[in-house]
A and B are shown apart, each in its own frame.
Chain A
Amino acid sequence: MISYEMSPQQKQIKELVHWFAENEMRPISLEADRQEKVPDEWLEKVNRMGIQLNTSSFVGSARSGDTEKSAKKKEREGNRLAVIASEEMAWGDPAIALSLPGPGLGGPPVQSSGTPEQKQRFLSIFTKDKPRWGAYALTEPEAGSDASGIRTTAKKVDGGYVLNGQKIFITNGGRASWVVVFATVDRNLGRAGHRAFVVEKGTPGFRTTHLAHKMGLRANETAELLFEDCFVPAENLLGGEELYASAGNRPSGFQVAMKTFDSTRPIVAAMAVGIARAAYEYTKAIVKQEYPKHGQLYHQAVMMLADMEQEIDAARYLTWEAAWLADVGKANAKEAAMCKAVAGKMALKVCAECLELLGPEGLDGHLVEKLYRDVKVFDIFEGTNQIQHLVTARRLYAPYGVHV
Chain B
Amino acid sequence: MISFQPTDEEQSFAEMALDFAIKHIRPNARLCEKERTVISDIAQKAVELGFSTLELPESWAGLELPLISQVQIWQALSYGDLAVVQGIPGAGDAASLIRLDPDAPPLQAYKDLGMGRDSWPPVAFIDVLNRERLYKSDLTLTPSGSGYVLNGTSPPVIQARTAESAAIAAVDDQGEAAVLWLNHGGWQVKEGDFRLGLLAAGLGRLSFNEYHVGAEEVIARGQAALELMKKVENRIRVLQAAKEVGLMEAALNYVVEYTAGRKAFGQEIAKFQGVSFTVADMAFETAACRHLVWRAALKVEEEPSDSLGTSLSALYRAHKAMRFVTDSAVQLLGGHGYVQEYPAEKWMRDAQAQTVLYGREKDLLMRRGEKILETAKEEIR
Contact = CB atoms under 8 A, between A and B. Distances in A.
Interface of A: 1-7, 10, 22, 26, 75, 77, 80, 281-282, 284-289, 299, 301-307, 309-310, 313-315, 317-318, 320-321, 324, 328, 335, 338, 341-342, 386, 388-390, 392-393, 396-397, 400-404
A152 B115 CA distance: 76
Contacts of A392: 280, 283-284
28 contacts: A1-B5, A2-B6, A2-B10, A2-B294, A3-B298, A10-B1, A22-B381, A26-B381, A285-B381, A288-B373, A299-B366, A302-B365, A302-B370, A302-B372, A306-B312, A306-B313, A307-B365, A315-B288, A318-B291, A324-B3, A324-B4, A328-B5, A389-B280, A390-B273, A396-B279, A396-B283, A397-B270, A402-B271
A318 to B, nearest CB: 6
Contacts of B295: 4, 313, 317
Interface string B249-270: 0000000110011000000101
A310 B364 CA distance: 12
Contact of A402 (B270, B292, B380): B270
Interface residues of B, number: 53
B281 interface: yes
Contacts, number: 172
Nearest to B316: A310
Given A306-B372, A402-B268, A338 B283 contact: yes
Contacts of B289: 314
Given A4-B2, A390-B273, A390-B276, A303 B369 contact: yes
Nearest to A77: B1
Contact of B373 (A301, A390, A396): A301
A98 to B, nearest CB: 21
B381 A282 contact: yes
Contacts of A338: 280, 283-284, 287
B287 A397 contact: no
Nearest to A283: B380
Given A7-B2, A324-B2, A324-B3, 8 more contacts: A2-B10, A2-B298, A303-B365, A309-B368, A310-B317, A317-B291, A392-B284, A401-B260
B381 to A, nearest CB: 6
B239 to A, nearest CB: 16
Given A285-B377, A404-B270, A317 B279 contact: no
A397 B256 contact: yes
B362 interface: yes
Pick from B6, B261, B370 the residue with the most CB of A within 10 Å: B370
Contacts of A403: 271
Contact of B276 (A282, A287, A404): A404
B134 interface: no
B366 A302 contact: yes
Given A2-B5, A317-B295, A284 B313 contact: no
A6 B295 CA distance: 13
A212 to B, nearest CB: 29
A321 B291 contact: yes
B376 A397 contact: no
B277 A386 contact: yes
Interface of B: 1-7, 10, 68, 256-257, 260-261, 268, 270-271, 273, 276-277, 279-281, 283-284, 287-289, 291-292, 294-295, 298-299, 309, 312-314, 316-317, 362, 365-366, 368-370, 372-373, 376-381
Nearest to B367: A306
B4 A400 contact: no
B345 to A, nearest CB: 22
A196 to B, nearest CB: 28
Contact of A317 (B292, B370, B376, B377): B292
Given A389-B281, A404-B276, A3 B1 contact: yes
Contacts of B292: 310, 313-314, 317
A159 to B, nearest CB: 45
Contacts of A302: 365-366, 369-370, 372-373
A329 to B, nearest CB: 12
A147 B89 CA distance: 56
A79 to B, nearest CB: 10
A284 B5 contact: no
B280 A303 contact: no
Nearest to A404: B276
A396 B280 CA distance: 8
Contacts of B277: 386, 389-390, 393
A6 B2 contact: yes
A1 B368 contact: no
A288 B378 contact: yes
A387 to B, nearest CB: 11
B65 to A, nearest CB: 13
Contacts of B317: 310, 314
B256 A396 contact: yes
Contacts of B373: 284, 287-288, 301-302, 305
B5 A285 contact: no
A80 to B, nearest CB: 5
Contacts of B261: 400
A303 B378 CA distance: 18
Nearest to B261: A400
A285 B379 contact: yes
A381 to B, nearest CB: 19
| Residue among A2, A320, A324 having the largest count of chain B Cβ atoms under 10 Å | A2
A324 B312 CA distance: 26
Nearest to B302: A5
Contact of B381 (A5, A77, A281, A304): A281
